[in-house]
Structure 1
Amino acid sequence: MMNISKRLILMTLLATLIPACASKQLAKIETVPQVDLPKFMGDWYVIAAIPTSIETESYNAIENYRLKDDGTIATTFTFNKGSLNGPKKTYEPHGFVVKDSGNAKWGMQFIWPIKAEYLIAYLDENYTQTVIARNARDYVWIMARSPSISESDYKKLTSLVQNLGYNTSKLREVPHNK
């Protein structure tokens, strides 16, 4: 039988260790305050990503957005699979802007009824570079209006991604024909 002081020490030790074993809860990702949807529409080149399973071998990846009359976003995601000249793949998910989010939070639906989280975490004032993130920190996309960006801009955006709580060693630069 364990005496009271040993029990107290054991309970104190367990009370100290259990919280240390719990996973660290990351803060919710802050989005930009406001997105001018018509200005955001058009082609965005994927510069780098922590990719989904369909993107692991993507080249020339471009996300195109078109605002529909009903307020949803028609999306066309195209890329070449496996190489710069590989077979072209096209996906057409639909974006749904979350009400009262400043147009910066979307649900992106590839398969009904599932809407994946899509957070505009960074958008430069000229609408030429953006970072799309998720609170799960599983996927992220660095995108630009052109197929390449300067090294200094790339470093700034990858640093931003790291500050959001992502493991940037998982980032994959997406090659583009220039």
Structure 2
Amino acid sequence: MKLIITILAVSALAGCLGMPEKVKPVNQFELPKYLGKWYEVARLDHSFERGLSQVTAEYQLKDDGGVKVINRGFSEKENEWSEALGKAYFVEDESTGYLKVSFFGPFYGSYVIFEMDQENYQYAFVSGPDTDFLWLLSRTPDISDELRNQFITSAQDKGFDTRKLIFVEH
């Protein structure tokens, strides 16, 4: 059921390839360094992840140069894992952290990496098409207080309502 909800929610984002006014994607992005498993540490609530804990995203290179996206999370209420498979492609050039992601057919939504550890690729701040979509991803499920505060401050400066952040249990 969660997978169906995910598909419907992402479908509602059809054509949503913009980004919040104050959000700018990172430059000098290197996709090979970004591939692999990420833990969702924080997010703004939305229907397609509501109630999920232990959320991860895994990114794999596709033969066509795009990215295979595997999102997983555990629903305690339903006592089961939920998984959504998608695909992502660069909107601009491959050195700009601005992709479009789809979990259903031709419908895409924005995936904008606006801040990250560009040396080691250990964390990323990600926005959707507007200030209703925000994620903090990390290579580990636990982060420092310093990084948490950095994320909150950066998100507030860009117009996100950080009072509504959910910090994901792992």
Q: TM-score range by the shorter chain?
A: 0.7 to 0.9
Task: Give the 5 Å matches for 1:84-99.
Answer: 86-99=79-92
Contact 2:111 2:129 in 1 (8 A): no
Q: Kindly indicate whether residue 107 of structure 2 is the aligned counterpart of residue 109 of structure 1.
A: no
Alpha-carbon separation, structure 2, partners of 1:34 and 1:51: 30
Given the two structures, how large is their TM-score scaled by the length of structure 1?
A: 0.79
- Residues in 2 aligned to 1:107 and 1:58: alpha-carbon distance in whole angstroms: 23
Greater C-alpha radius of gyration: 1
Q: Is 2:146 the counterpart of 1:162?
A: no
5+ residue gaps, structure 1:
1-25
Greater relative contact order: 1 or 2 (C-alpha under 8 angstroms, separation 6 or more)? 2
Q: Which has the higher strand share?
A: 2
Is the alpha carbon distance of 1:44 and 1:116 closer, same or farther for their aligned partners in structure 2, counting shifts above 3 Å? Answer: same
C-alpha separation between the residues in 2 aligned to 1:110 and 1:137? 20
The one-letter amino acid of 2:83's match is T
For residues 8-62 of structure 1, the C-alpha deviation after alignment (integer angstroms, 9 at most, x for no partner) is: xxxxxxxxxxxxxxxxxx6241111121101000001000001331212111000
Q: 1:102 to 1:28 in 2, by over 3 A?
A: farther
Aligned length: 150
- Tell me which residue corresponds to 1:173: 167
Identity over the aligned pairs, expressed in percent?
A: 27
Distance between the aligned counterparts of 1:113 and 1:90, measured in 2?
19
Aligned equivalents of 1:37 and 1:59: distance in 2? 26
TM-score (norm 2): 0.83
> Alignment RMSD, CA only?
1.6
